[in-house]
Amino acid sequence: MTHSLTLEVPDNIYQSLIDKASKNGKKIEEVALEKLANGDEQHIDDPLDEFVGAFRSEVPDWAENHDKYLGESLYRELRGENE
């Protein structure tokens, strides 16, 4: 069983859906349904993704948590703790 749902979305969200649909050869409705089904996940292009796996690290979860580690390091540096 399926149901119809009409939504009003801001321009930036609509444009994002159009862009993704066009990029993947899908209908905008398909992309919107995928986003609804996947919950509140947001994918942001991360400039560090290209370096994941490029360097050996002693931190096993660096790929998933690099933002956390960088934030903690910056916090310590701003507090003068990295010296």
Domain ranges of the chain: 8-43, 49-78
Specify the pLDDT at position 82: 67
* 36 contact partners, CB below 8 Å, separation of at least 6: none
pLDDT for 58 beyond 70:
yes
Distance from the first to the final alpha carbon of the chain: 62
Kindly state the percentage of the chain with pLDDT values over 70. 92
Q: How far apart are CA 17 and CA 9, in angstroms?
A: 10
What is the token pair recorded at 47? 């400039």
* Cβ contact 28:21 at 8 Å: yes
Q: Binning pLDDT at 50, 70 and 90, where does residue 27 land? A: very high
